[in-house]
Amino acid sequence: MKINVHLTPLSADELYFTGKTTVVIDVLRASTTIITALQNNAKEIIPVATVEFAVKVSGGMFGGQTLLGGERNTKKIEGFALGNSPFEYSEEIVSGKSVILYTTNGTKAIMKAKFSADLFVCAFINVSSLARHLAELNKDVEIVCAGRSNNFSMEDSVCAGKLISEIEKLNENVTITDSAIASRALSKSFGKSIFKMMKETEHGKILIENGFEEDIKYASKLNSTDVIPYFTGNVLKLMQVEQMAVESSAEEVQTD
Ligand code: MLT
């Protein structure tokens, strides 16, 4: 399997992802928040690329079962029920609900990769679980770092590198591109203290200025969950480890 990393979403257009296996990473904070919402039993997350579209979609949905969430410049958008802090997506608030989510970089990157055959969302909190799934899938993987305003961001690239190292431990047939080698090297250098690394990033500093240091701490908890969001029918749903085991044994039976 070959692994490639897009250090910013600019390095490919939408059609590039057609039929590919893709992972989108926006550690601070969209990926971390999406994973948390699904862990807390949100029915689904509907990622959107514009605020206008978020409002339009919410207009056509059943009121009480739908929440509008997201941020502009890290702050909750006027008229939205939720911002983009993972702590806002508690079980009490999101259980059984559809969440329409707009974020400056993360949901845009997800929508850019929407033509992928398989599309997953990754953050530090679920990296090992996703690595196991990808190593088993044994398909080429495109990792998209959401970055900031189409620029490189350290935390997404370090997370990409961590994901690659974990896959390499489980699958002997991995080859990696130059950008993947660079991400893995960054992860080896800066991934030992994830919280410290993230506090010093551009986005980390902005979050701290806006009172979200606890979000960074939460996002730095490596492998705190097994949940994997996957994109299907224009929404992100929870793929559980047990479900993956059942699916892969069903595939084995079919190919026998
Ligand atoms: C984004 O998508 O740009 C981020 O999730 C922004 C944020 O920290 O809320």
Residue 30 CA, closest ligand 1 atom number? 5
Looking at residue 14, its pLDDT comes to: 97
For the cut 60, the answer to whether the pLDDT of residue 242 exceeds it is no
How large is the average pLDDT for residues 227-252?
A: 74
More confident residue, 246 or 66: 66
* Residue 253 pLDDT grade (very low, low, confident, very high; cuts 50, 70, 90): very low
pLDDT, tens digit, for every residue of 176-223? 999 999 999 999 999 999 999 999 999 999 999 999 999 999 999 999
Residue 109 CA, closest ligand 1 atom number? 2
Residue 70 CA, closest ligand 1 atom number? 9
The total domain count for the chain is: 1
d(CA 124, CA 192): 12
CATH number of the domain at 61, please. Answer: 3.90.1560.10
Q: What is the pTM of this model?
A: 0.93
For residue 254, is it within any domain?
no
CA Rg, the chain, in Å?
A: 17
pLDDT, tens digit, for every residue of 5-27? 999 999 999 999 999 999 999 99
Distance (angstroms) between ligand 1 centre and the Cα of 106 equals 6
| Helices 202-209, 154-170: inter-axial angle, 10-degree rounding | 120
User: What single-letter amino acid sits at 70?
Assistant: G
Q: Which domain holds residue 233?
A: 2-245
Looking at residue 241, its pLDDT comes to: 53
Q: What is the dihedral of CA 241, 49, 216, 243, to 10 degrees?
A: 0
% pLDDT > 70, the chain: 93
The contacts of residue 143 (CB under 8 Å, 6+ apart) are 3, 4, 5, 6, 22, 23, 25, 122, 160, 163, 164, 180, 183
For the cut 70, the answer to whether the pLDDT of residue 246 exceeds it is no
Provide residues with CB under 6 Å of ligand 1: 26, 28-30, 71, 74, 84, 103-106, 207
* Residue 60 pLDDT grade (very low, low, confident, very high; cuts 50, 70, 90): confident
CA distance between the termini of the chain: 22
How large is the average pLDDT for residues 232-236?
A: 95
Distance (angstroms) between ligand 1 centre and the Cα of 256 equals 45
Looking at residue 255, its pLDDT comes to: 40
27, 33, 71: residue to mutate for ligand 1 pocket, most atoms within 8 A of CB:
71
How large is the average pLDDT for residues 44-51?
A: 96
For residue 256, is it within any domain?
no
Looking at residue 62, its pLDDT comes to: 64
Looking at residue 6, its pLDDT comes to: 98
SS3 content of the chain, % helix, strand, coil (to 5): 50, 20, 30
For the cut 70, the answer to whether the pLDDT of residue 243 exceeds it is no
Distance (angstroms) between ligand 1 centre and the Cα of 69 equals 12
For the cut 60, the answer to whether the pLDDT of residue 140 exceeds it is yes
Q: Residue 193 CA to chain centroid, in angstroms? A: 20
For residue 158, is it within any domain?
yes
For residue 253, is it within any domain?
no
Residue 203 CA, closest ligand 1 atom number? 8
H-only helix segments in 40-126: 51-59, 91-94, 106-112
